[in-house]
Chains A and B, each alone.
Chain A
């Protein structure tokens, strides 16, 4: 089991981190804390994994559910109010991608929590059927939601 966990940890850390970052308005420190907590839960529950769903589906569920609870901790709520400043390069020029990314995180933060999970999975290229299994929302309902969420995010980032 340790080998399986080590493999998952290496393979999925980055993806889980990005998902967590989406829940914490792009804050890297909070996202790293939440990511650690996700993998603690993965380790704690790995023995009970019965292949009832794909492993990535299982991991996404844990990641989203952990983030849903972590954002409610008082300490996290205080930290979230800290303004995120995009990284500045050595010659003082702000990277455009970083600005767009910062805007994206800020706009994702404005979405309702489950919609946040949906858009983060879309951005990660997760299949609709897998998204339905992760969220527990029917695929048909999900498709309608996704169209609205994409429009909402694009509009927000353009502003």
Chain B
């Protein structure tokens, strides 16, 4: 036992004899970087909500301009698209608020529990809400294509069709990568929590 403890004491001494490292940045520079990073994250989150809100606004304007409320199918299709986007906006805002409430100054156990709970919530969004929103939106869009064709110039119609396909494929890939990233984090955290609990 004494031999072991002496060896551990050697490790402690080696650790304490490490060269002291001074920060490369001044405190002032770090504060400025921190403020920029925090602001950047808020802009990124608001940017997502802004893009979705802009799309909702465009669809609403189109609905009113085309007097879509006169045609049941047209109206229903656009309403589904607007509704799905609105649900997505709410989910994004709630997700952001939940994440912001997780404070890194809690004990490790408490922090891990909260982070795991957050990613469980994100999993329910990814596996339940996202497929419903995506499929409903695309289905509504596709169902309105004949009406778009009847009411748009050929050029505009083809633009809407081609850009729609590109956007839907791009979105699907983006969503897939985001889900994969978050589920990797969740599985890793759960595995670590499991190891810790049983060790």
Interface residues of A (CB under 8 A from B): 2, 5-6, 9-10, 13-14, 17-18, 32, 35-36, 39-41, 43-45, 48-49, 58, 61-62, 64-66, 68-69, 72, 74, 97, 100-101, 104, 112-115, 117, 122-124, 133-137, 145, 150-151, 153-154, 157-158
8 Å CB contacts to A: which residues of B124-177? none
Query: How far apart sit A121 and B37, CA to CA, in the bound complex (Å)?
Result: 29
Query: How far apart sit A73 and B27, CA to CA, in the bound complex (Å)?
Result: 26
Q: CB of B70 within 8 A of chain A?
A: no
- List A contacts of B14 (CB < 8 A): 97, 100-101, 104
Closest to B113 in A: A136
- List A contacts of B196 (CB < 8 A): 112-115
Known contacts being A36-B30, A43-B31, is A123 close to B11, with CB within 8 Å? Answer: yes
Known contacts being A14-B22, A61-B108, A136-B108, is A9 close to B195, with CB within 8 Å? Answer: no
Query: How far apart sit A6 and B189, CA to CA, in the bound complex (Å)?
Result: 33
Contact status A112-B23, CB under 8 Å: no
Contact status B108-A134, CB under 8 Å: yes
- List A contacts of B106 (CB < 8 A): 61, 65, 136
- List A contacts of B115 (CB < 8 A): 69
Q: Nearest chain A CB to B11's CB is how many angstroms away?
A: 6
Query: How far apart sit A25 and B38, CA to CA, in the bound complex (Å)?
Result: 28
A-B pairs, top 10 by smallest CB distance, nearest first, are A136-B107, A136-B109, A6-B27, A40-B34, A65-B104, A123-B15, A43-B34, A9-B27, A112-B195, A13-B23
Prevailing SS type, chain A contact patch? helix
Query: How far apart sit A104 and B192, CA to CA, in the bound complex (Å)?
Result: 21
Closest to A2 in B: B31
Query: How far apart sit A114 and B61, CA to CA, in the bound complex (Å)?
Result: 54
Query: How far apart sit A158 and B7, CA to CA, in the bound complex (Å)?
Result: 9
8 Å CB contacts to A: which residues of B56-88? none
Q: Nearest chain A CB to B22's CB is how many angstroms away?
A: 7
Closest to A40 in B: B34
Contact status A123-B12, CB under 8 Å: yes
- List A contacts of B28 (CB < 8 A): 2, 6
Q: Nearest chain B CB to A141's CB is how many angstroms away?
A: 11
Q: CB of B21 within 8 A of chain A?
A: yes
- List B contacts of A101 (CB < 8 A): 14-15, 18
Contact of A40 among B22, B23, B38, B103 (CB under 8 A): B38
- List A contacts of B189 (CB < 8 A): 72
Known contacts being A5-B31, A112-B192, A153-B11, is A41 close to B4, with CB within 8 Å? Answer: no
- List A contacts of B195 (CB < 8 A): 112-113
- List A contacts of B112 (CB < 8 A): 68
